[in-house]
Amino acid sequence: MVTAYSKMIIVSAPSGAGKSTIVKHLLKSGLNLEFSVSATSRPIREGEVDGREYHFISTEDFKKKIEAKELLEWQEVYPGSYYGTLVSEVARIHSHGHFPIFDVDVVGGLNIKKMYKRDALALFIQPPSVEVLEKRLRSRATDSEASLQKRLDKVKWELEFASKFDEIVINDQLEFALSHAERLVREFLT
Count the helices and strands in the chain (H runs, E runs). Answer: 7, 9
* Shortest Cβ 11–ligand ADP spacing (Å): 9
In angstroms, rounded to a whole number, what is the distance separating the alpha carbons of residues 93 and 98?
Answer: 6
Q: How far is CA 84 from CA 55, 62, 103, 133, 173, in A?
A: 10, 8, 10, 24, 30
Determine which residue in the list 22, 23, 77, 148 makes contact with ligand 5GP, applying CB under 6 A: 77
Rg (CA), the chain: 16
User: How much of the chain is in helix, strand and coil states, percent to nearest 5?
Assistant: 45, 25, 30
Residue 26: contacted member of ligand 5GP, ligand ADP, none (CB under 5 to 8 Å, by partner type): none
DSSP label of 118: G
- Whole-number minimum distance, CB 105 to ligand 5GP, in Å? 4
Is beta strand 120-126 parallel, antiparallel or unpaired with respect to 33-35? unpaired
Q: What residue ranges bind ligand ADP (CB under 6 A)?
A: 13, 15-21, 136, 140, 171, 174, 177
Residue 127 binding partner per list ligand ADP, ligand 5GP, none, with a CB distance cut-off of 5 to 8 Å that depends on partner kind: none
H or E segment and range at residue 52: none
- The binder of 38, among ligand ADP, ligand 5GP, none, by C-beta within 5 to 8 A per type, is ligand 5GP
SS3 174: helix
77 binds, among ligand ADP, ligand 5GP, none (CB under 5 to 8 A by kind): ligand 5GP
What's the min distance (Å) between Cβ of 173 and ligand 5GP?
22
CB of 87 to ligand 5GP, least distance (A): 11
Decide if residue 89 touches ligand 5GP (CB under 6 A): no
Return the number of the residue (98 or 140) whose C-beta is nearest ligand ADP.
140
Q: Which residues bind ligand 5GP (CB under 6 A)?
A: 15, 19, 38, 42, 73, 75, 77, 83-85, 103-105, 108
